[in-house]
Structure 1
Amino acid sequence: MQTGGSALAALWTFPSMLLSAFLVAWGAEAAQFLISQGLALAILAWLQTIPEFAVEAVIAWDAGRDPTRSHLAIANLTGAIRLLLGLGWPMIYFVFAFSGRRRGNPKGTPSIKLQREHAVEVIGLLPPLLYFIVIIWKQTMSWIDAVILVALYVGYLVVLLRDPPHSAEEISDAPRVSQWAYRLGGLRRKLAIGGLFAAGGFLLYVTARPFLESMLAVAGLLGVSQFILVQWIAPFLSEFPEKVSAFLWARRVTHAPMALMNMVSSNINQWTVLAAMIPLVYGYSHFTHTGVWAPFHFDAEQRLELILTLLQTALGIVVLANMEFDWFDATALFVLWIVQFLAPHLREEVSVAYALWIVILLVGFLVRGRALLAPRYFWETLTQKRPAGSA
């Protein structure tokens, strides 16, 4: 991966990325009173993952010209997903717990309790994971796989449309900018909210590349290897907008569920649209350079990377199946992530640990006779009638 940026550019790109993250987060908070919160977060996730798409597109294009670089495309995809779940989810919990104590909330180990509508995001992770079992089995990704993954994402958006917007009475809890935009009323309200999304998205678009290049230049000066740059440093930097908005919401304690769903929505985006982009960009690049469209192939090493990532996300689904996220969940997810980060050679052992934890949790649910809330709430969302006049 080429890093032609200047480390000094970080002096302007870093604050620009911060501002863009604030703008789109304010837009999402105001939008949840016009459309469902899940749909607002899906829009937010699209804007926030612009840097991720830019990085993945460059890597996939280079791999199409030189197939020996294909492993970097999988490394970036899996690194981005595992980083968001293994570091992002726990970060939200610990910020939530720490902020709660500072505000005088009772001591102990509180859990983040999800709302019924969040079952759509939790279960929305499942279909792409099931389809990725097929992809892992055949060790290729073609344009057909891309179409199926995008279709799964569209289906997820359709289900989100069934959730109603939040009550306008809750607007008083939103930041002042979000309140201002919503209280304009009529067409001006929609233009203001759309303007927040557009301004933040545009700033993200123009800042993403120089921001990544400047930060990668800093990492390069420190002697970081290319694989570490691609699998961990680049995803960490490209996920910066998500982490900023999630951190802001987690600090407000009551908005911690929204922060967690921001991350989950981005995970769904990664497993579907971001993954679908790889065979399309790779195939077109290969066609441009050789005259032949080719599917994207990956070897046994990348297959193991995908299995590890799939098991981690599957564990995330099971952990949230009862619509709660507690200190043990956050700590264990972080510990398993940090182990694979510090000791990459233990990937198989970590994969086994993820699988065993999934089995233990599922057996525990059966033994205690506890019904999983997320599937039930998801089914209720599918079968309910949309409220009259909902956006």
Structure 2
Amino acid sequence: MAYLLLAVSFALLLGGAVVFTNAVEWAGIRLGLGAGAVGSVLAATATALPESVIPIVAILSGDQSGQIAIGAILGAPFLLATLGMLVIGVSTHMFARRRDNDSKLAVHTPTTARDLIVFGVFIAVAGILGLIGNQSVNVVAAVVFLVAYGVYVWRTVGHGGEQQEEPRPLYFDPTKHDPPHNVTVVAQMLVGVAAIVGGAEVFVTQVEGIAHQVGISPLVLALVLAPLATELPEKTNSVLWTRRGKDALALGNVTGAMVFQSMVPVAVGLAFTPWSFTAPSTLAVGCALAGGGLALYAVLRSRQFTRLSMAAWGVLYAGFVAYVGLAA
């Protein structure tokens, strides 16, 4: 029964993310935001919402020692910087014949590089703070992280580029033809949030129960299971956009989510959990840094994810999963 409920929680998380993302895209249209702002801020934040809600729910439900919260917070940027980049690289090569740029990435290099550098700096600081374990310092750092993300959003919105194309029809719009009303957009957003929060609540409860039954650390389950399920929106969107040659959206959705994950959820963890790392947590940060650094090098050097890069991301992800599996 616990595993069935875990599957139900995944369905709620992903279904809520799809509904919420669709509504957010329409909100971006109504607000007149550029494609860059919608991709790197609105879409990235929307698709990152499931894995961001999980640690909050875990903290509110009294997660012992913050293990599930810390695992969910660190697992998301780790997976995006490894498996997420691997998926984009495989997609560019798989669909090379139908793309105008073959396997080359049609991205705005300064914007992508900025995202990856910001991610690297803040996830590294988060890792250092996790090794220090000083709560007073962590609270101050949490405020700095939130302010820094506000500056990032302000800069991105200010340089958002041309307005995005009209997205798919709003799911809650019965006409499917005319632009939806603002009330309908807001209603769909609220339903999406409710599904995500409900799924997160079920996920946290079942992870705690399963970990107790099989004798595995909740941290390990949260590090691996939570991001693998909740990052599906980013990875699915990236494959579809890459197939259509919209690499700026594909990669921007992932790098924007990486920036968000390294700042906002980390700030929550810094302020409301002990934020003291074990070996799996430290390794997750290290692999995320390595994966993000490799992506930055590939973008600056040739704007192409080579087979060697993809193999390295695969090794980082598989090696980490194998390690935490053995450590459990």
Common fold, TM-score beyond 0.5?
A: yes
Matched, 1:207 2:195: yes
Offset of residue 301 of structure 1: 5.9
Counterpart Cα distance in 2 of 1:265 and 1:94? 20
* Residues 34-74 of structure 1 deviation map (CA, whole Å, 9 limit, x = unaligned): 323332121222222222122111334466x74xx344433
**TM-score, length basis structure 1:** 0.64
Q: Is the 8 A contact 1:47 1:201 kept in 2?
A: no
343 and 279 in structure 1: CA distance in 2 versus 1, 3 angstrom threshold: closer
Counterpart Cα distance in 1 of 2:275 and 2:187? 35
Partner of residue 260, structure 2: 269
Range that drifts further, 261-270 or 273-282: 273-282
Aligned partner of 1:36 among 34, 37, 45: 34
Matched, 1:236 2:236: no
Counterpart Cα distance in 1 of 2:319 and 2:42? 33
Aligned partner of 2:118 among 118, 124, 132: 124
Q: Counterpart of 1:6 in 2: which secondary structure?
A: helix
Counterpart Cα distance in 2 of 1:210 and 1:316? 34
* Residues 106-128 of structure 1 deviation map (CA, whole Å, 9 limit, x = unaligned): 9xx72223125444423332441
Partner of residue 289, structure 1: none
Task: Kindly provide the amino acid, as one letter, of the partner of residue 112 in structure 1.
Answer: L
Task: Kindly provide the amino acid, as one letter, of the partner of residue 316 in structure 2.
Answer: L
Counterpart Cα distance in 2 of 1:72 and 1:274? 13
40 and 175 in structure 1: CA distance in 2 versus 1, 3 angstrom threshold: closer
Partner of residue 154, structure 2: 158
Aligned runs of 1:1-391 on 2, under 5 Å?
6=5, 9=8, 13=12, 16-17=15-16, 19-20=18-19, 23-24=22-23, 26-27=25-26, 30=29, 34-41=32-39, 42-61=41-60, 66=64, 69-101=65-97, 103=98, 110-116=103-109, 117-129=111-123, 131-132=125-126, 134-136=128-130, 138-140=132-134, 142-166=138-162, 171=165, 177=169, 196=185, 198=186, 201-211=189-199, 213=202, 225=216, 226-252=218-244, 254-282=245-273, 296-299=275-278, 302-322=281-301, 324-328=303-307, 329-344=309-324
Offset of residue 150 of structure 1: 1.0
Counterpart Cα distance in 1 of 2:23 and 2:214? 34
Task: Kindly provide the amino acid, as one letter, of the partner of residue 289 in structure 2.
Answer: L
Counterpart Cα distance in 2 of 1:204 and 1:251? 27
153 and 12 in structure 1: CA distance in 2 versus 1, 3 angstrom threshold: closer
* Residues 343-388 of structure 1 deviation map (CA, whole Å, 9 limit, x = unaligned): 34899xxxxxxxxxxxxxxxxxxxxxxxxxxxxxxxxxxxxxxxxx
Offset of residue 333 of structure 1: 1.2
248 and 211 in structure 1: CA distance in 2 versus 1, 3 angstrom threshold: farther
* Residues 267-309 of structure 1 deviation map (CA, whole Å, 9 limit, x = unaligned): 1111100100013233xxxxxxxxxxxx643456644443443
Q: Counterpart of 1:89 in 2: which secondary structure?
A: helix
Q: Is the 8 A contact 1:85 1:313 kept in 2?
A: yes
How big is the alpha-carbon RMSD for the aligned residues of Structure 1 and Structure 2? 4.1
Counterpart Cα distance in 2 of 1:134 and 1:148? 15
Query: What number of residue pairs does the alignment pair up?
Result: 311
Structure with higher RCO (Cα < 8 A, 6+ apart): 2
Q: Counterpart of 1:53 in 2: which secondary structure?
A: helix
Q: Is the 8 A contact 1:136 1:307 kept in 2?
A: no
Q: Is the 8 A contact 1:126 1:317 kept in 2?
A: no
Unmatched 5+ residue regions in structure 2?
Answer: none
Task: Kindly provide the amino acid, as one letter, of the partner of residue 155 in structure 2.
Answer: V
* Residues 238-294 of structure 1 deviation map (CA, whole Å, 9 limit, x = unaligned): 223323322332232x11331111011111111100100013233xxxxxxxxxxxx
Partner of residue 361, structure 1: none
Counterpart Cα distance in 2 of 1:97 and 1:148? 40
Counterpart Cα distance in 2 of 1:12 and 1:105? 35
Counterpart Cα distance in 1 of 2:279 and 2:94? 42
Q: Is the 8 A contact 2:76 2:227 kept in 1?
A: yes
**TM-score, length basis structure 2:** 0.75
Q: Counterpart of 1:241 in 2: which secondary structure?
A: helix
Task: Kindly provide the amino acid, as one letter, of the partner of residue 35 in structure 2.
Answer: Q
Identity of aligned residues (%): 17
Offset of residue 95 of structure 1: 2.6
